Amino acid sequence: MKIAFVGKGGSGKTTLSSLFIRHLAAEQVPVIAVDADINQHLGAALGLDEAESAALPAMGARLPLIKDYLRGSNPRITSAETMIKTTPPGEGSRLLRVREDNPVFDACARTVRLDDEAAVQLMVTGPFNDSDLGVACYHSKVGAVELCLNHLVDGPGEYVVVDMTAGSDSFASGMFTRFDMTYLIAEPTRKGVSVYRQYKEYARDFGVGLKVVGNKVQGPDDLDFLRAEVGDDLLTVFGHSDWVRAMEKGRPPRFELLEEANRQALETLRATADRSYERRDWQRYTRQMVHFHLKNAERWGNAKTGADLAAQVDPAFVLDERLLAAPQPA
Ligand SMILES: Nc1ncnc2c1ncn2[C@@H]1O[C@H](COP(=O)(O)OP(=O)(O)O)[C@@H](O)[C@H]1O
Ligand SMILES: [Mg+2]
């Protein structure tokens, strides 16, 4: 199951995605956590210290390796250089599975140990600097995540959780359509809700499963405000968490001590994500990745690579979790 946390900066994406990741990990289910936020804080929210966070390998710096592995022996993709973030898999491509060893995870994922036996795999795009924002380099960092999602065959009971910026960058690519569930984190403020409106507009045309999760909700007024602004899209809310405060002071209490109301909210997120499996449609998922690939090819990819990137599309290929059992092409 692929789950995104999006929202305005400061709304609590990183905090709530890290709590959700801890919640899943505590139940011993496989979890890959991905930090694709402009502010790279997911490692810290999962308890890594500064040195450990800084030592995480950046996906953005390993794009050639990622591309070379994923293209495998796909005859339509003749080089890693002509592979762009939206290049879809086809016959001969290598796919990623949540529970496997592969060179992409070897290079880009690190195990983060949480309470007790709980552990997750963490992947990070790598830090963004000023020169990245709004230009190709920023796109290519997040693009590494999009490439991986487009080559991932995941089934129920295994999770990829992405902490993501809700900026226009995720709409220019197909990134926002890659998830079974998108949780939009909103504080009960006009700004928080305005990000929701923008996201919903993009999401509507693509059948994106979108729910709003209120954060830092302090009382009936806050709840009424969110209900009035968001209606049925409001899934659940989190209140202020002393557990989170303590964690931020570098003194993380055991996860089982998280406030009960917040734990209930996490369980709602999980149950909702699990239920979204019924709506999964690999045909649509594949069609959408082709759609965004053709759009990106025309807009900048063809010019940048000097190739006709539409030719990379394998018309007969449909990504499908039945491929979970298939042997990987050499
Ligand atoms: N429910 C909460 N209880 C207490 N503090 C919170 C809560 N949600 C977020 N915060 C705090 O608010 C700040 C911003 O949250 P963060 O998750 O970093 O936002 P984002 O990732 O959306 O930019 C952090 O200092 C975080 O600890
Ligand atoms: Mg963040």
290-310 CB burial, b ≥16 within 10 A, e <16: bebbbebbeeebbeebebebe
Averaged pLDDT of the chain: 92
Which pLDDT value is given to residue 134? 47
Residue 16 CA, ligand 2 centroid: distance in Å = 9
From 6, 15, 262, mutation site for ligand 1 pocket: most ligand atoms within 8 A of C-beta: 15
Residues with CB under 6 A from ligand 1: 7, 9-15, 37, 39, 41, 215-216, 238, 240-241, 244-245, 248
**Confidence check: pLDDT of 32 > 60:** yes
CA distance 70 to 57: 18
Query: Which CATH number, 3.50.50.60, 3.40.50.10860, 3.40.50.300, 3.40.630.30, labels domain 2-321?
Result: 3.40.50.300
Q: How confident is the model at residue 170 (pLDDT cuts 50, 70, 90)?
A: low
Q: What is the CA radius of gyration of the chain?
A: 19
Q: Which ligand is nearest to the CA of 238?
A: 1
Question: Atom of ligand 1 at shortest distance to CA of 41?
Answer: 18
Question: Atom of ligand 1 at shortest distance to CA of 9?
Answer: 23
Q: Atom 23 of ligand 1 has which residue's CA nearest to it? A: 10
Residue 15 CA, ligand 1 centroid: distance in Å = 5
Alpha carbon dihedral 185, 164, 290, 82, in 10-degree steps, equals 170
CA distance 293 to 281: 18
Question: Atom of ligand 1 at shortest distance to CA of 241?
Answer: 3
Residue 34 in contact with residue 237, Cβ under 8 Å? no
Which DSSP state fits 310?
Answer: G
Q: Using one digit for the tens of pLDDT, what is the confidence trace for 222-249?
A: 999 999 999 999 999 999 999 999 998 8
Q: Which ligand is nearest to the CA of 8?
A: 1
CA distance 170 to 37: 11
Q: Using one digit for the tens of pLDDT, what is the confidence trace for 118-162?
A: 999 999 998 766 554 444 444 567 889 999 999 999 999 999 999
Question: Which amino acid does the sequence have at 169?
Answer: D
